Amino acid sequence: MSIYAFRVHKFSVGVLGASGYAGRELCALIARHPGAELAFAAAHSRRGEKSLIGGREVTFIAGDDAPLGDTELVFSALPHGESAKWVARAREAGAKVVDLSADLRPGNGAFDVAALGTTLGASLAAAPYGLTEYEREAVRSASVVANPGCYPTAILLALLPLLTRGLVAPGGTISVMAASGVTGAGFKPREDLLFGEVTEDFRPYAVGNGHRHLAEMNAVLRGLDCDADLIFTPHLLPVARGILATITVPLAAPVAKPLDLWREHFASEPFIEISEQVPTLRDVVRRNVVRITALPAANVRTPTLIIVSAIDNLVKGAAGQAVQNANLLLGLDETLGLPL
């Protein structure tokens, strides 16, 4: 048996917002990426600080000191509302960008195109939605990508085989209950995220109303001509990482062997695992995969599927998918540097 590897070029990539959970995960992934090297890790409030990330020491710089023009690709893991203007700066400096914030995502509307000027604004407004397995070709030819939210990644990928085939019952209600580890809530200290408050607890939040991700998912559903109502209730889990979504979907018609549908739809996708066993967080943490099962609900009159979908919120739900998109933007093998 023989292994052979050869590479001549490492792309220069930078991270804005590098001190949060997604930013750190990006730095760790880049450290092990055979085709990229970390040009800078910017975190304004920690500029000058050193931090051990992924086994390497990283020194944070201020965003204003980031050599955007000397960088081939920039990841922005900056907060929603603040990110778009940095995306614009990076684009003006010539770098390609993967934006992990919500600013450029469909359904979000927080981003003011006009304020950026016509050309640049239009270019950002046209950023494809980087749910890679859904918009791969658009990503491949883009300069800016809007990396999806963590919940939408888990939920939309699980629904795609039904949505693209028009199998959801028209006018039906898709009910999604999803639970996330606390890193999904960010690295900024908050009383309700202290260990003493989270351990041995389990909490729904944003119940009944507009979590930002609901609009993002509805925009994709509408784009796929699905008129179903989506009810989405996120919960906070006492774990560090992972999202698990349990989805109830009424069908237009019964589906005989649901898993075959998913297997067919995602045939040859390296990061999508269709499983007869019900996925759990353990199956997916620290890996850039979504793991999905689908089962018919028993003893109900409306044919209904129960779909369970699990991801690592920081990998496939954020930094991993961002690297997957970056690989496409840079013309690299899509799987490079990503933990399977």
Nearest-angstrom CA–CA distance, 72 and 90: 10
Nearest-angstrom CA–CA distance, 223 and 134: 12
Between 161 and 172, CB nearer to a second copy: 172
**157, 272 Cβ separation under 8 angstroms:** yes
β-bridge pairing 304-311 and 290-296: antiparallel
- Among the listed residues 18, 88, 150, 328, the single catalytic one is 150
Residues 251-310 that bind a second copy (CB under 8 A): 278, 280-283, 285, 287, 293, 295-302, 304, 306, 308
Q: Which residue has the tokens 């898709």?
A: 174
**67, 90 Cβ separation under 8 angstroms:** no
Least distance in angstroms from the C-beta of 37 to a second copy: 8
Residues 219-258 that bind a second copy (CB under 8 A): 229, 231, 233, 235, 237-242, 244, 246, 248, 250
Element (H, E) at 177: strand 173-180
Least distance in angstroms from the C-beta of 160 to a second copy: 20
> Which tokens belong to 43?
């975190």
Between 91 and 241, CB nearer to a second copy: 241
Contact letters for a second copy, residues 7-46 (x by CB under 8 A): xxxx----------x------------x--x---------
Nearest-angstrom CA–CA distance, 312 and 340: 12
Binding status of residue 49 toward a second copy by CB under 8 A:
no
Between 164 and 280, CB nearer to a second copy: 280
Binding status of residue 143 toward a second copy by CB under 8 A:
no
Catalytic, 226? Answer no
The rounded Cα 71 to chain-centroid distance in angstroms is 23
Calculated CA dihedral for residues 36, 40, 45, 50, nearest 10 degrees = 90
Residue type, 37: E
Between 97 and 226, CB nearer to a second copy: 226
Residues 156-215 that bind a second copy (CB under 8 A): 171, 173, 175, 177, 179, 181-183, 187, 189-191, 193-205, 207-210
Residues 65-124 that bind a second copy (CB under 8 A): none
User: What are the φ and ψ backbone dihedral angles of 100, each rounded to 5 degrees?
Assistant: -85, -5
Catalytic residues: 150
